[in-house]
Amino acid sequence: MTMTTTNQDADRRARTVLVLGATGGVGGETARQLRAAGWHVRALHRDPARVAAAEPRFEWIAGDAMHAADVLAAARGVDVILHAVNPPGYRRWAEVVLPMMDNTIAAARATGARVVLPGTVYNFGPDAFPTLRDDAPQRPVTRKGAIRVEMERRLEHAAAQGVRGLVVRAGDFFGPRAANNWFAAIVKPGVPATVIRHPGSEGVGHQWAYLPDVAATIVGLLARDDEGAPAFERFHMEGHWDATGREMAEAIRRVVAARTGRAPRIARFPWALAMIASPFVTLFRELREMRYLWRLPLRMDNAKLVKALGREPHTPLDEAVFATLVGQGVLSGSGLRPDPGIPSGDLSNAGVSSKS
């Protein structure tokens, strides 16, 4: 009994984060790393009884990010609100994304919490390429990009009214628990990898971000002694820069071959099929809209982030790919050929190191 009381008291003394989107990729990974760093994690979900068993160390609160009263009630007493909630499968973006952002900002204004927003590259058009700085002009060429710009604009505007905001921008997410991402389109989850569907163009670089590294970056930024820092900040991650446009596909091929003895073939992503199906399938319609990011090189400049943290959390590519393939059920943890160069064991944060 005494130990239980002590643990509860320690949780109450810890900084508290409210996570919107705790069952998603970046929200879940960041929540787990914050909890490991000593934070008390409160998570909002419409059906907490269904998901609480998967993350029993979180304080699950019933509510909907679309309901301002639910977000405000859940935000009472928190230090940070992590706004990592998105409509599943890209559905109803125009209807729900901005109202959810407004609810988070209103809750932060009422409680004094800081808002952390995982950012995307959708905000930018080709005029900002090929090197994307954190202060680059945001002139999107897509509907979804325009919505993301407006989300950040509202958060930055709120900073003038006392709401502290932090945007951490990264490339295309991949990781053991990531969902609705390009990695899952390249290698189908849940089945052995025999074909790698490569969506890029030869010689066109592409920006990737390993989710445990993104989470570690957010945790590091929140741990800073940032007294005197601006009320609103943006930071860009370098992540994994695929300079040739084929390095990710080659890494997947290399890791699968090393673990199974069978190298999958690399084929072109079926863009023509996606174009034909796009009027009928929401996901394909959204992928078509973002195709320009595979036709033009975009590399993110992390100089401001390195200055703030001293280095950027960075997992070597093959380790990150291996953890992702295991987490997504493409590789199993048994019956694999030994490879001393790739770690085994708990793969949820495999191989995290640091790079400046």
Distance of CA 93 to the CA centre of its chain: 17
Does 301 reside within a domain?
A: no
Q: Look at residue 330 in the predicted model and tell me its pLDDT.
A: 95
Does 309 reside within a domain?
A: no
Does 300 reside within a domain?
A: no
How does DSSP classify residue 264?
A: P
Residues 150, 52, single domain; the answer is yes
> Which residues span the domain enclosing 36?
2-173+207-240
Does 307 reside within a domain?
A: no
Sign of the CA dihedral with 332 first, then 335, 340, and 345 last: positive
Residues 231, 189, single domain; the answer is no
Sign of the CA dihedral with 241 first, then 245, 249, and 251 last: negative
Does 38 reside within a domain?
A: yes
Residues 212, 192, single domain; the answer is no
Residues 72, 41, single domain; the answer is yes
Residues 211, 334, single domain; the answer is no
Q: Which two tokens stand for residue 306?
A: 């390195």
Does 78 reside within a domain?
A: yes
Query: Can you give the CATH number for the domain in which 89 is found?
Result: 3.40.50.720
Residues paired with 349 in a beta bridge: none
Does 305 reside within a domain?
A: no
Residues 132, 95, single domain; the answer is yes
- Degrees, nearest 5: CA angle 31-207-278: 90
Q: By three-state DSSP, how is residue 261 classified?
A: coil
From first to last of its 356 residues, the chain has per-residue pLDDT tens of 333 334 444 444 689 999 999 999 999 999 999 999 999 999 999 999 999 999 999 999 999 999 999 999 999 999 999 999 987 666 777 789 999 999 999 999 999 999 999 999 999 999 999 999 999 999 999 888 999 999 999 999 999 999 999 999 999 999 998 877 889 889 999 999 999 999 888 899 999 999 999 999 999 999 997 777 899 999 999 999 999 999 999 999 999 999 999 999 999 988 777 667 656 656 666 667 777 888 899 999 999 999 999 999 999 999 999 999 999 999 985 434 333 333 332 222 222 233 33
Residues 134, 13, single domain; the answer is yes
Question: Structural domain tally of the chain?
Answer: 2
Residues 46, 191, single domain; the answer is no
Helices assigned H by DSSP within 54-201 = 68-75, 93-111, 143-159, 182-186
Q: Look at residue 284 in the predicted model and tell me its pLDDT.
A: 64
Does 202 reside within a domain?
A: yes
C-alpha–C-alpha distance, residues 222 and 41, integer Å: 14
Q: What one-letter code names the amino acid at 99?
A: P
Nearest C-alpha neighbor of 214 from the set 166, 284, 147, 273: 166
Residues 36, 94, single domain; the answer is yes
Q: Look at residue 9 in the predicted model and tell me its pLDDT.
A: 46
